[in-house]
Amino acid sequence: MKSKKVLLRVENLVKYFPIMQGIIIQKQVGAVHAVDDVSFDIYKGETLGLVGESGCGKSTTGRTILQLYRPSSGSVHFDGKDLVQMKGEELRKMRRKMQMVFQDPYASLNPRMTVGEIIGEPLIIHNVASGKEVQERVEHLLELVGMNPSFENRYPHEFSGGQRQRIGVARALALQPELIVCDEPISALDVSIQAQVVNLLEDLQKQFNLTYLFIAHDLSMVRHISDRVAVMYLGCIIELTGRDELYSYPLHPYTQALLSAVPIPNPVIEEKRQRILLQGDVPSPVNPPSGCRFRTRCQYAQEICADQKPAWREIKPDHFVACHFADQWL
Amino acid sequence: MPNQLLNVNGLETHFQTREGVVHAVNGVSFTLDEGGTMGLVGESACGKTVTMLSLLRLIPMPPGKVVAGSAVLRGQDLLKMTDEEIRSVRGAQISMVFQDPMTSFNPVLTIGRQVSEPLEEHLGMSHAQAYKRVAELLEMVGIPKAKDRLNDYPHQFSGGMRQRVMIAMALACAPQILIADEPTTALDVTIQAQIIELVKRLRDELGMAIIWITHDLGIIAGLAQRVIVMYGGYFIEEASVKELYGNPQHPYTIGLLGSLPRLNESGHQRLVSIDGSPPVLMEKPNSCPFAPRCNYAIEHCWQENPVLETIAPDHRVACWVDSQTRSAR
């Protein structure tokens, strides 16, 4: 059984990006509500999946947690310490414990550095190792992610997408972090390669007791890798619960529609499936709808949905949802 | 028996590069029935798109060259037509929807102008007639207030809407074949579901044949009747949808299906991964192109490249090994 120790506690996290106008005298004319009042916990050793469509604020949430973007308000407690209040050297020391694997393995590795330099850089920056020791650690890390240690003198362009992503994983592992934020680590890869990387991430998690925040838009992959799953829509988390619970008994209308939209690679099932088709597109995060964010596309929406923002509530044990009418599905 | 609409035989396309010749498509053959839907599945750079572009003669030449094969549409070989003739086929009898709705429109021309172009070109409509028809077409693909949006530019539409406009443009001249090249890859799942429903509805209404190129085996399962799996420029398996998903024969297809996590997965199973990476197409292999990554490979696989053989009615596979017995066929 997993211990239920909270590693990361995110409370009322808000991130607005200002929209400026004017050339010399700049004035703020609005804001992109990228993340709007998000709260959740991540337990030590678990994988929390964060799903949603593009532009819903998944990546911004991940980056704001790591303080790559400073939040507009809210708090992020890592191991009981609030990262939002930290700065400078203090924050830099904390960064050792939390790392990130990026989406695009073609853009996240410096083309002018060798693989050895890329993986060794965090060790040198954080004064963890020096000289010969760096090389030894790098070779060990390359082996860990299933690559030949002699590759350390090669450049990123010599590798395929899947191998590059392995290098990205090795870099994230270099400082032996506790938390890794995986920001769509597999969506740029081919299907047969995706499975390789996911298997690697799972093996490493077991070996080092890592905690993952796994951001993705591929719902079937998220189901595969996560222990719990949070669904995001337009800057808000609308449902959060255990993986099997979410996929078997989705309570929020958006989760239901999202799950029914995923194609299943089985023609017999596909023939009988009834789809919930959402109308229209996601509204703009510059001017999100009042009340419930999803009401403009929701087939059950009523007046109260426009007037009141639905409360984030625990509708049954460990099943959180933000919808006025979620009880009808219980 | 439905009538054969398109018959492609031994199509082979090369690209001349500084490093040598890239063998992108190596002698592929297929037939498409009237009103049928065919899925073409494979990973990136396996030659799916090049196969279709070769048929339509849209390969840039040079560096590309269709070196062999024929593609017969209603008794006429597309590959032997004059430029003038092939132009009257593209957009009128065969049209194509491209992957990226963000970059495949001309950003400085209005939507009305772009969608009306094939109507004026192929059907000889007047400007006013064409615009009227465009409004109907946009209405058909579900663009709200279509009449008012004819003078909008592509950037004023969202990704899903743009793909709808693209489909409207492709269907403008009521083609017999619609080639859809990963039309939903750049879109979100809920929008993807909208587009697939739209294409299914239009297929049933207009009775056109569809070739749907994708890397997502999930989409094909609910859409196509027949599936072809492509690897390294070769067709390696072809079967009806139910047969392919229920009884895959080629080790690559088996691996591909195993590497997909299922939404209805119960318990936690490890994904089956295919080791290694896709082949480089610089040389035409003397062995099976999949042999270096194959768990089932036997000696014969390294000596000769297998050809597609019929192993059951409606099921062809290019493999020396019987996946059930793991021995030579």
State whether residue A127 sits within 8 Å of chain B by CB. no
For this complex, say whether ipTM is above 0.85. no
Q: Which domain holds residue A258?
A: 6-329
pLDDT value of position A39: 93
B222: chain A residues, CB-CB within 8 Å: 263-264, 267, 270-271, 273
Q: What is the mean pLDDT of chain B?
A: 87
pLDDT value of position B325: 67
- Taking residue B190's Cβ as centre, other Cβ atoms within 10 Å add up to 24
Mean pLDDT, residues B260-277 taken together: 74
CA B102 to chain centroid, in Å, comes to 19
pLDDT tens-digit map of A290-302: 889 999 999 898 8
A137's tokens = 């650690």
Q: At what angle do helices A253-261 and B189-206 cross, to 10 degrees?
A: 50
pLDDT tens-digit map of A125-183: 998 888 888 999 999 999 888 888 888 899 998 888 888 999 999 999 999 999 999 99
pLDDT value of position A207: 92
State whether residue A274 sits within 8 Å of chain B by CB. no
Q: Do A264 and B188 touch (CB under 8 A)?
A: no
pLDDT value of position B323: 66
pLDDT value of position A118: 93
Give the B window 42-71 contacts with A, CB below 8 Å.
Answer: 43-44
Interface test with B, best of A266, A272, A279 (most B CBs within 10 A): A266
Bigger pLDDT: B249 or A330? B249
> Which one-letter DSSP state was computed for residue A56?
S
pLDDT tens-digit map of A198-245: 999 999 999 999 999 999 988 888 988 999 999 999 999 999 999 999
A275: chain B residues, CB-CB within 8 Å: 193, 197
Q: Do B260 and A265 touch (CB under 8 A)?
A: yes
B76's tokens = 């006429």
Q: Which of A220, A264, A277 sits opposite B197 (nearest CB)?
A: A277
Interface test with A, best of B219, B271, B272, B290 (most A CBs within 10 A): B271
pLDDT tens-digit map of B208-256: 999 999 988 888 888 899 999 999 899 999 999 999 998 899 999 988 8
pLDDT value of position B230: 93
A232's tokens = 């995001």
Spatial CA neighbour of B14 closest among B306, B215, B307, B283 = B283
Between strands B226-231 and B234-240, the pairing is antiparallel
Provide the shortest C-alpha distance from residue B88 to chain A (in Å): 35
The answer on pLDDT for B268 being more than 80 is no
The answer on pLDDT for A276 being more than 50 is yes
pLDDT value of position B304: 87
A264: chain B residues, CB-CB within 8 Å: 218, 221-222, 262-264
Q: What is the mean pLDDT of chain A?
A: 89
> How far is it between the farthest Cα atoms of chain A?
67
pLDDT band for position B329 (cuts 50, 70, 90): low
pLDDT tens-digit map of B21-58: 888 899 899 999 988 899 999 888 888 889 999 989 98
pLDDT value of position A1: 41
A142, part of any domain:
yes
Q: Give the total number of structural domains in chain A.
A: 1
pTM score: 0.85
CA distances from B1 to A186, A221, A311, B36, B299 (A): 43, 40, 59, 12, 40
If you measure CA to CA, which chain A residue comes closest to B162?
A: A281
Give the B window 216-245 contacts with A, CB below 8 Å.
Answer: 216-222, 241-242, 245
Interface test with A, best of B41, B143, B185, B189 (most A CBs within 10 A): B189
- The amino acid sitting at A168 is G
Nearest 10 degrees: CA dihedral of A80, A86, A88, A89? -30
The CATH number that applies at residue A320 is 3.40.50.300
pLDDT value of position B160: 81
**B29-60: b or e for each residue (b if 16 or more CB lie within 10 Å)?**
ebebbebbbbbbbbbebbbbbbbbbbbbbebe
Is residue B274 within 8 A of residue B298, CB to CB? The reply is no
pLDDT band for position B178 (cuts 50, 70, 90): very high
A1, part of any domain:
no
pLDDT value of position B326: 65
Provide the shortest C-alpha distance from residue B299 to chain A (in Å): 24
**B112-130: b or e for each residue (b if 16 or more CB lie within 10 Å)?**
bbbbbbbbbbbeebeeeeb
Provide the shortest C-alpha distance from residue B302 to chain A (in Å): 22
H or E element, residue A253: helix A253-261
- Taking residue A262's Cβ as centre, other Cβ atoms within 10 Å add up to 18
H or E element, residue B168: helix B159-171
Q: Do B277 and A266 touch (CB under 8 A)?
A: no
Give the C-alpha separation, B248 to B269, whole Å.
20
If you measure CA to CA, which chain B residue comes closest to A264?
A: B218
Instruction: Name, in order, each residue with C-beta under 8 angstroms of B42's C-beta and a sequence gap of 6 or more.
Output: B48, B215, B229, B230, B231
Alpha helices per DSSP H over A74-228: 88-95, 115-125, 132-144, 161-173, 191-208, 219-225
pLDDT value of position A3: 55
Interface test with A, best of B219, B220, B260 (most A CBs within 10 A): B260
